[in-house]
Structure 1
């Protein structure tokens, strides 16, 4: 008798558990828009959920501790005039979130320290450049103030959020709708999955395609592609017979996959979530009631199935907590926020360990909130990997960091000294109290002026759109 050898892995017995009802977020009207995004974004401070809204697009932003029933009158972020399609928290500031919408706009929002007390309709920054709806927004992993957006106009725009400018426009690379965009670990490359069934690896600053693979998955339904820490690409899609597939590709040679596996015949798009510290990929299918997880290794067969977490209710979307937001004392290696029709349910993934000591093998240093580069450095050609931090003593979300404001070019060139860099030991005489108050008042007036201007621009655009519709009806 040949004995079957079971591959050893410390993640083989990862235990998934949905939290109790009193730790869920209830009575939320999750968006019904037919778009294959996650509809949910989380960080160590807040959970954001795209919701149904009358007369425009909106999303909820809830402090993590605000569980239980959410009142129907709870304030939302509601500045878009069309449905919100995608949201993404800034990795370098837990109070800043980007949103893309059917109104062709990308907006940046600054969330108050304790969450919303009133509806937020005035974005900090409005980014205009797309001619059709914006379905993907994604922050650069290591450069501060760099944001990517992809629209149904088949173009990708990379913005400097600090100046509000579109710095890079990738127009002629995709002949059809872009299903997904993923940054490489150091943000030097992006990989995209397109409706033309091609996976492309692009150098955005040189504006050229490095490599591409035609018919990575032969099925007509949407694909997803993400970069792994070692530079390889992990994809999900459908076979010609409409079976769901996952595949692993070597970026240098995409002729044949390193590994390809068929999963099942469900028709929900598989959303991949990747942990670069443990090399685990979690697959959450839209409309499924399960989360499958796989470990990626450097040796054949490369992709190893670990286990499946199953529940009764199908998921409409899924949020994935960054590693620094996990409870290291409970050996939690992942946490998901599963969207039902009317609620958001946290699901924890833990490795069963008896020791109360910090588990170094489960928690290598992970990406922290400090950026490795400023936007100007990255656009000038510099690269940097995320700045790592230890989770040994856990992570405590800090106070507000760099506010995101649009700065006029001339002001930016003069590089005024940032307030945060002023040493705390400077004597009071060095900065008289009256001048500080004047500066604060001036900043407040400028902020109000900018928000009013943005509101006027939005209203003008809305009026023009309504006039156009009225003229069509009149004809």
Structure 2
């Protein structure tokens, strides 16, 4: 009886946590939907390595999947729109001598991907447009500096060609991929195996989790540990941590009773978490995926059949449970598509690629809206592919926020409402009432006009005016969307020009 009372007491915070979701938020009704079977990728031999990583990475062009390979390590790169059966003879990236443990796409070049392996090496690959036509064995850059297997990769969010790696030798290494040079190495920051690494928004500090149960905040350029939280989660199973856009840190881990936990921390004071919640008693490690545009966190547990999603706000209890997507089959891993790749026409705010044993299943997170117009409140400006800094600028101590772009350029007006509009082109000028699709088969003449009863004529004129107004409104909305897209392009190019001019000035001054 006492044990039962204790159990109810332990789970009471979770219940109150879920009861508190009735609040004003545009993401309160996010709807998760798996794609139909014909749009999935079938016959994909997902790797069986026992490594707590997503095993998958996606960007607007490609999806990369770590697969089974004999005699070495390999991963598969497929176009993002690939569906149906994947042929067993499909070429792979197969230059590692041991299983691949992690893959990550470069945020500043959709054709560049890094891979980490048990062979202690990190390789960087240039994927041709359209995907691989033959097996790829030669990397453009090979990074050698770890003495044990490498299982964690993290590209710098704003600086070009800066890559962080972490291995089972407890080392953190930061590389300039452009030169292949090891620019920073932290050898004494972690006494045990590193579980996760994450950059903050501007890329001047990182947070890490370790097998010693500590959460650390580190300045990688100075090589100093700024803050440590011992026993952020008291369980012995692996922890994960991600930086939020406002500087807070969200962690997942296990309690002393092996319950899975989610905690939110204020970086300025790690004494106690701002919020902590118990989930369940499953053994699967919770992999957190964070969307800075919507401030939403998605939790995918390896071996689970569910994806939980939350919204983080400045109001207590800070982490608000939204909903849970559940399916019949457990996931081996999951890839999270960056915001530039989602379908804004369908109000899709996030997309996962769920790895089954022999299948890859896309899952869309959408916010249902009645309007067919671009929903600007769901899509604030997001990080674009242009870097804010060059590698040497960041190494020299500079910091900069990411360069943002508008997603309105990805919006295409529905063809059903704009049949006279060519996809991707501006709408043609409005035609007169008696021409084009709106014209009647028989022109109205003076004789027929005299024979038309007055009420019917009024109705016809009213309908014509209404139709014209509707066309004008549709045309205006489309022009506004195109103007916003062009403004975003001009802004991005202007920022790129400024960056190149600064670099040119440094070259002329002899600093480079």
Does TM, scored on the shorter chain, surpass 0.5? yes
Offset of residue 117 of structure 1: 0.4
Alignment RMSD (CA, Å): 1.8
Indicate if the aligned counterparts of 2:21 and 2:321 stay in contact, CA closer than 8 A. no
Task: Give the structure 1 partner of residue 40 of structure 2.
Answer: 24
Specify which of 355, 372, 389 is matched with residue 373 of structure 1: 389
Q: Deviations over 1:365-388 (max 9, x none)?
A: 000100000000000000011110
Task: Give the structure 2 partner of residue 382 of structure 1.
Answer: 398
Unmatched runs of 5 consecutive residues or more in structure 1: 399-413, 417-475
Task: Give the structure 2 partner of residue 289 of structure 1.
Answer: 305
Q: Deviations over 1:135-188 (max 9, x none)?
A: 001100010000000000001000000000000001001010000000000000
| Greater percentage in helix | 2
Offset of residue 415 of structure 1: 6.3
Determine the C-alpha separation between the residues in 2 that align with 1:276 and 1:70.
33
Task: Give the structure 1 partner of residue 372 of structure 2.
Answer: 356
Q: Deviations over 1:282-333 (max 9, x none)?
A: 0000000111000000121100000001111100000000001011111000
Offset of residue 13 of structure 1: 1.1
Offset of residue 52 of structure 1: 0.5
**TM-score, normalised with respect to structure 2:** 0.76
1:337 alignment partner, SS class:
strand
Tell me if 1:77 matches 2:93: yes
Determine the C-alpha separation between the residues in 2 that align with 1:24 and 1:191.
35
Indicate if the aligned counterparts of 2:351 and 2:362 stay in contact, CA closer than 8 A. yes
1:393 alignment partner, SS class:
helix
Task: Give the structure 1 partner of residue 211 of structure 2.
Answer: 195
Offset of residue 4 of structure 1: 8.2
Determine the C-alpha separation between the residues in 2 that align with 1:68 and 1:218.
44
Task: Give the structure 1 partner of residue 173 of structure 2.
Answer: 157
Determine the C-alpha separation between the residues in 2 that align with 1:18 and 1:5.
24
Moved over 4 A (4+): none
Indicate if the aligned counterparts of 2:114 and 2:125 stay in contact, CA closer than 8 A. yes
Specify which of 68, 74, 78 is matched with residue 58 of structure 1: 74
Task: Give the structure 2 partner of residue 133 of structure 1.
Answer: 149
Specify which of 295, 302, 308 is matched with residue 279 of structure 1: 295
Tell me if 1:231 matches 2:231: no
Offset of residue 6 of structure 1: 2.3
Tell me if 1:9 matches 2:25: yes
Task: Give the structure 2 partner of residue 186 of structure 1.
Answer: 202
Moved more, 353-362 or 216-225: 353-362
Tell me if 1:257 matches 2:261: no
Unmatched runs of 5 consecutive residues or more in structure 2: 1-18, 412-423, 425-488, 490-505
Determine the C-alpha separation between the residues in 2 that align with 1:109 and 1:194.
29
Task: Give the structure 2 partner of residue 222 of structure 1.
Answer: 238
Aligned residues: 400
Determine the C-alpha separation between the residues in 2 that align with 1:30 and 1:200.
32
Determine the C-alpha separation between the residues in 1 that align with 2:310 and 2:133.
41
Determine the C-alpha separation between the residues in 2 that align with 1:350 and 1:270.
22
Task: Give the structure 1 partner of residue 59 of structure 2.
Answer: 43
